Amino acid sequence: MRNRNILALTLAAAATLAAVPAALPAAAATAVRPSNSLTPGGHCPQLSKKLDWYGDNRAKLQRVIDERGRCSNPGLGHGGKRPVAAFDWDNTVVKNDVTDATIAWSLRHDKILRPKSWKSTSKWLTDDADRALTKACGTGVPVGKPLPTSTDTDCADEIFEVREDGKTMSGAAAFAGEWDHRHTVPQYAWVPQLFAGHTVPELESYAAQARKEALAAPVGATQTVGTHEIPGYVRYYDQQRDLIRTLKRAGFDVYIVSAGSEPVAEVWSRSVGIDRAHTIAIRSVLDGRGRITPWNQGCGGVPVNKGEAIPYIDGKRCFINQEIFKIKGKSAWEKQERSHRIALGGGDADTDVTFVGDATGAHLVLNRNKSEFMCRAYDNADGRWVVNPMFIEPMPRKSGGYPCATSAYNEHDGRKGPVLREDGSVVPDQQDSVY
């Protein structure tokens, strides 16, 4: 039974991943399948041809499903090791950000509790941010009681600005100090910290109500939080629903790996057939009364911490290695040999670049013009990168392309540098071609 005090998973999954041919005509692929490898329905699970994918992306993904799934490996359903697929959540499986939707709903319904001090919510919060939040939200509300953010525009604005841009409304930095910029980002870690004092069921109820509202809103709708105008709707991508469903039918273990708060991700992921045990996100430590604290579970030798290690860039690899493949200690930060790597990964942003790049079968990228991720995708070093525009309201073409050779890589210390291939060569600048 899951220990909710650290919201930990106890999972066991490993993948024995064979190489995928660079290209096989459909007829040839069918011809080489052994007759006893078909599913009970008499065919390999197929992606829907009624749903639009860019170019030949459907065929590329189908090849991975056919080669790694039970169609070619009938032992998967009888104790054989199952291949693993992992997806980011926000703007990968759904359009828009479910964490933002939950925060927005919570601010509009007075669900953020006043902390004893704003500085206590994050180890990196600056004095400027502490002063701005204290001034905007006041000290009249007792500690632990709800702030009136539905009517207090200044308070709602400061909270959302810190979360969204890592700045105060006056433009001062909200976070400062040292952290590994490939292991965490303070404003992401701040989200579950912002809900400190609530129970997990309470946060799940806020996420559920935000979900209902966001799914009911028309595509293109906006909402106002303080004076911020943000997207007011969320939609599941039909293509991703179908991909996840097809992968599961073909014998894959499918996971969500998100840099959001885990209870929020779990509320959304169950509707695509991903259960709690297969949803990995920031896991808050609970106090003795079952209430969320500013602490979260660590990874890769990092113990319980206040945000130093979350599922972010290299942190997503760490949590996949630790929670899915049971690799402990510092080794969880490292790229593993093929049998301990995912077969298929999907994402949309730089925070996904490491784990999606680790996939041995296909690297699915939804183009949101994120430089490091798109440099890897367009360089296509192993020939397995699958680039697709967003399925709803896709981004326009990136003007001028991506500065891969100079400043697209997110360095550990926060600087920008060149994107390097595994052999150390520099990825040349890339033009945006799939949009």
Q: Domain extents for the chain?
A: 26-93+238-288+311-385, 98-231
At residue 367's C-alpha, the angle toward residues 104 and 278, to 5°, is: 65
What confidence score (pLDDT) does residue 297 get?
98
What confidence score (pLDDT) does residue 25 get?
33
What confidence score (pLDDT) does residue 32 get?
33
Maximum CA extent, the chain: 74
DSSP 181: T
- Contact predicate 212/199, CB 8 Å: no
Please give the Cα distance from 166 to 125 (Å, whole number).
9
| Kind of pairing between the strands at 235-236 and 94-95 | antiparallel
What sign does the dihedral 312-277-90-208 (CA atoms) show?
negative
Consecutive sets of 10 residues in the chain, 435 residues long: mean pLDDT of each?
A: 40 35 34 37 83 98 96 74 97 98 98 97 98 98 98 98 97 98 98 97 98 98 97 98 98 97 98 98 97 98 98 98 98 97 98 98 98 98 98 97 98 98 98 97
Residue 20, token pair as written in the block: 């995928």
DSSP 434: -
Q: Cβ of 36: how many Cβ atoms within 10 Å?
A: 6
Which of the following CATH numbers is that of domain 26-93+238-288+311-385: 3.40.309.10, 3.40.50.1000, 3.40.640.10, 2.30.140.10?
A: 3.40.50.1000
What confidence score (pLDDT) does residue 43 get?
73
Give residue for tokens 């595509």: 219
| Kind of pairing between the strands at 84-87 and 253-261 | parallel
What sign does the dihedral 192-194-197-200 (CA atoms) show?
negative
DSSP 407: T
| Kind of pairing between the strands at 279-282 and 284-286 | unpaired
What's the half-sphere exposure (Cβ side, CA atoms, 13 Å) at 353?
26
* Helix ranges restricted to H, 15-172: 26-31, 57-68, 98-108, 127-137, 153-165
Please give the Cα distance from 281 to 102 (Å, whole number).
15
What confidence score (pLDDT) does residue 74 get?
82
Whole-structure pTM value: 0.89
